[in-house]
C-alpha cells in the first residue's frame, strides 16, 4: 500500500487531474495540461467582459480564462464579424477557471481549450440582437425565449461566418465544434448555397459534431481547440483526433538503436553473468 500511495500522486501530476496546477513532481508540465475533461492550465489569459462585437454572458463570472491564442482569436474574430456584418453580437459563455480544473455546469472546460459560444440571433423580422441565453433551436432554426415568450431565429449568415473564420484561422487550430445535427445541416446548406470552397466546407463539416455523451448542443456552439505541437510536449493531451491540416507534430528523429548506443557510450553495459535461481544463494545453497 505504501508503494501504491507513492505512485498515485505522481500519476495524478502526469495526467493533470489531481492538482490545481502542475506539481514539483512534474515540473516540465505547463500551459494546457492533461485532457479537456481531466486537466488544468497555467499561463491563462482572461477574456474581457466585453469588446468590439462580443460580450460575456456572465460578465462577473470567474471562469473566462483560456489559452492565449484562444482568447485572442475570439476577440479578433468577433471584431471582424462586427465589421463585416454590423449589428450582431457574439455572446460568449464559460471558458475555464484561471488554473483549470472542474467548474460548475461542465464536465470538460478544464484545460483552457474549450469555450461556449451562444448562437447569433435575429428577431423574426430579421433584426439582429444579442442572444438572451441558451435557447434551444429547432431544426427550422427557430427558438422560443422563455423569458418573453417571443420567437427568435438563428442568424445563419453570421453563424456560418463565425464557423468559417474559426476553422480557417491558422493559429487557432479547431479540433471540434459541437453542435446539433439539424443546426449543422442549416449551416452547411447555407455554405453550399453560397458556393463556399469545397475544402472549407469539408473542414467545417469534419469538425462540427453532435456529441453522443452529452446534450445535443442545440442551444450553443461549443468550440474546442487542439493541442499545439508545443503544448503536446509540455503536457497537453488530445481529447480527440489531430486533423491533417493542423500544424505538423514534432517527430522523434532518434532511433531506438541510436539511443541505446548513446546511453552505452555514457556508461558501457557489462555483460550479465548467469543469474542465481530464485530461492538460492550465489553459491547454490538455500536462502
Tens digit of each residue's pLDDT (9 = 90 or more) over 190-224: 999 999 999 999 999 999 999 987 789 999 999 99
What is the mean pLDDT of the segment spanning 243-266? Answer: 71
> Beta partners for 115?
223
List the single range of 87-96, 161-170, 183-192, 260-269 with lowest mean pLDDT: 260-269
Q: Compute CA distances 286 → 40, 274, 276, 277, 282, whole Å.
A: 53, 17, 11, 10, 9
241 or 253, which is more confident? Answer: 241
pLDDT of 78 > 80? The answer is yes
Q: Looking at the domain that runs over 14-120+155-233, which CATH code has it been given?
A: 3.30.1380.10
Residue 134: exposure state from Cβ atoms within 10 A (0-12, 13-18, ≥19): middle
| Contact criterion met (CB below 8 Å) for 247 and 225 | no
Q: With cut-offs at 50, 70 and 90, classify the pLDDT of residue 281.
A: very low
Domain limits, the chain: 14-120+155-233
DSSP 59-76: TT-S--EE-HHHHHHHHH
| Tally of CA atoms within 13 A in the half-sphere of 81 that contains its CB | 28
pLDDT band at residue 283 using 50, 70 and 90 as cut-offs: very low
CB 128 within 8 A of CB 90: no
Among the residues of 52-135, which ranges form H helices? Answer: 68-84
- Predicted local confidence at residue 276, as pLDDT: 52
* pLDDT per residue as tens digits for the range 12-30: 434 434 444 565 556 678 8
Amino acid at each position: 500500500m505504501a508503494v501504491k500511495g507513492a505512485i498515485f500522486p505522481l500519476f495524478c501530476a502526469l495526467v493533470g487531474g489531481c492538482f490545481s496546477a502542475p506539481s514539483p513532481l512534474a515540473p516540465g508540465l505547463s500551459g494546457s495540461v492533461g485532457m479537456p475533461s481531466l486537466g488544468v492550465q497555467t499561463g491563462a489569459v482572461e477574456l474581457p467582459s466585453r469588446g468590439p462585437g462580443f460580450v460575456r454572458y456572465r460578465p462577473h463570472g470567474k471562469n473566462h480564462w483560456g489559452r492565449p491564442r484562444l482568447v485572442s482569436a475570439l476577440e479578433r474574430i468577433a471584431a471582424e464579424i462586427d465589421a463585416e456584418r454590423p449589428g450582431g453580437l457574439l455572446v460568449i459563455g464559460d471558458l475555464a477557471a484561471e488554473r483549470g480544473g472542474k467548474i460548475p455546469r461542465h464536465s470538460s472546460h478544464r484545460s483552457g481549450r474549450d469555450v461556449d459560444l451562444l448562437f447569433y440571433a435575429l428577431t423574426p423580422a430579421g433584426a439582429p440582437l444579442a442572444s438572451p441565453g441558451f435557447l434551444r433551436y429547432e431544426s427550422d432554426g427557430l427558438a422560443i425565449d422563455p423569458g418573453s415568450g417571443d420567437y427568435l431565429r438563428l442568424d445563419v449568415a453570421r453563424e456560418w461566418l463565425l464557423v468559417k473564420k474559426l476553422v480557417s484561422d491558422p493559429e487557432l487550430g479547431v479540433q471540434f465544434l459541437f453542435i446539433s445535427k439539424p443546426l449543422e445541416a442549416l449551416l452547411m446548406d447555407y455554405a453550399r448555397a453560397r458556393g463556399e470552397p469545397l475544402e472549407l466546407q469539408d473542414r467545417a463539416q469534419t469538425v462540427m459534431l453532435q456529441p453522443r455523451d452529452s446534450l445535443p448542443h442545440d442551444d450553443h456552439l461549443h468550440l474546442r481547440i487542439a493541442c499545439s505541437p508545443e503544448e503536446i510536449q509540455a503536457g497537453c493531451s488530445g481529447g480527440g483526433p489531430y486533423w491533417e491540416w493542423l500544424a505538423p507534430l514534432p517527430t522523434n528523429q532518434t532511433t531506438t538503436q541510436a539511443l541505446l548506443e548513446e546511453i552505452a557510450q555514457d556508461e558501457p553495459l557489462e555483460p550479465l553473468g548467469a543469474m542465481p535461481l530464485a530461492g538460492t544463494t550465489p553459491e547454490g545453497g538455500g536462502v
